[in-house]
Amino acid sequence: MTYRDRVRVAAVQLVSGLDPAENRRMVAGRVAEAADAGAELVVLPEATMCTFGEPAFDLAGVAEPLDGPFVDALHQVAGRYGVTVVAGMFERSAEPHRAYNTAVAVGPGGLDAAYRKIHLFDALGARESDRLVAGDPAKDVVTFGLGAWRVGLMTCYDLRFPELARALCDAGATVVCVPAHWYPGPGKAEVWETLVAARAIENTAYVVAAGKPMPEAVGRSRVVDPAGVVLAALLGTGEGTAAAELSLDRLAEVRAALPLLEHRRFRVEPGRG
């Protein structure tokens, strides 16, 4: 598998349930559809392995290791279609009642990267930290190579923290993948769209953001270019695939016209504000 100056990506909008085995079967079909559409990098939502369920649902009870059935299923489908798949899962932690919210990147050769969500959604009445352990910002700024491209990983609520996207681009990311389960509410869909575009514009990087549709989440999965142009997008309702071609020439053009990363006067470092 060779990723040249152009790569076709797909943000897949889907619904996952509480049965990991059924979700694995569903994912195989959705990745096949994206590959048939020419995608080489396929991004699935947060909590694809198993959805969050009600607040009392035991995520630690369904969590898996990084060599477990979910990653193995992604490896098999990635090898079958010659693609790299990014998807959200719950990973076992050392704590018996909490798991990591992890985004994995899996290619034909196996696991390429794993990012443990740093910013947990303890806001707007939710308490993600009751069931999940946060990643460590000192070591969980995660990118991986995809031929000529470098891909950074972040998850959902991370979008509200521009420092992480900047740290990923400091690490060389030219594409940022955002698996998400962005909860609905007044104005939430508009905030989602704004933040996805903002992370692309302020870092002059591509952003591929995949979420779940209404009523569980806001949907509106999309691919945005380094100048904030929406290359492909879905509505809030229904499943589907938003696919687009990314170009290193376009990236270089935008960065030459707007050398934002060269004009910076502040450095981003891990830690609390």
50 given a catalytic annotation: no
From first to last of its 273 residues, what are the pLDDT tens digits of the chain?
Answer: 455 799 999 999 999 999 999 999 999 999 999 999 999 999 999 999 999 999 999 999 999 999 999 999 999 999 999 999 999 999 999 999 999 999 999 999 999 999 999 999 999 999 999 999 999 998 889 999 999 999 999 999 999 999 999 999 999 999 999 999 999 999 999 999 999 999 999 999 999 999 999 999 999 999 999 999 999 999 999 999 999 999 999 999 999 999 999 999 988 887 765
Residue among 112, 101, 137 nearest 273 (CA): 137
Q: In Å, how far are 13, 29, 37, 155, 165 from 235, measured between CA atoms? A: 10, 21, 19, 20, 25
Annotated catalytic residue, options 50, 64, 117, 128: 117
Q: What is the pLDDT of residue 182?
A: 98
Q: Are the C-beta atoms of 102 and 85 separated by less than 8 Å?
A: no
Q: In Å, how far are 123, 140, 194, 249 from 225, measured between CA atoms? A: 29, 25, 13, 12
Q: List, in order of start, the domains of the chain with CATH numbers.
A: 6-257 (3.60.110.10)
Q: Is 236 helix (H, G, I), strand (E, B) or coil?
A: coil
Q: What is the pLDDT of residue 246?
A: 98
Orientation angle between helical segments 20-36 and 69-81, nearest 10 degrees: 20
Annotated catalytic residue, options 50, 64, 128, 156: 156
46 given a catalytic annotation: yes
Q: What is the pLDDT of residue 1?
A: 45
Do β-strands 41-43 and 110-116 pair in parallel, antiparallel, or remain unpaired?
Answer: unpaired
The dihedrals phi and psi of 56, each to the nearest 5 degrees, come to -85, -5
Q: Are the C-beta atoms of 236 and 245 separated by less than 8 Å?
A: no
Q: Omega into 215 within 30° of 0, i.e. cis?
A: yes
Q: What is the 3-state secondary structure (H, E, C) of 42-97?
A: EECCCCCCCCCCCCCCCHHHHCECCCCHHHHHHHHHHHHHCCEEEEEEEEECCCCC
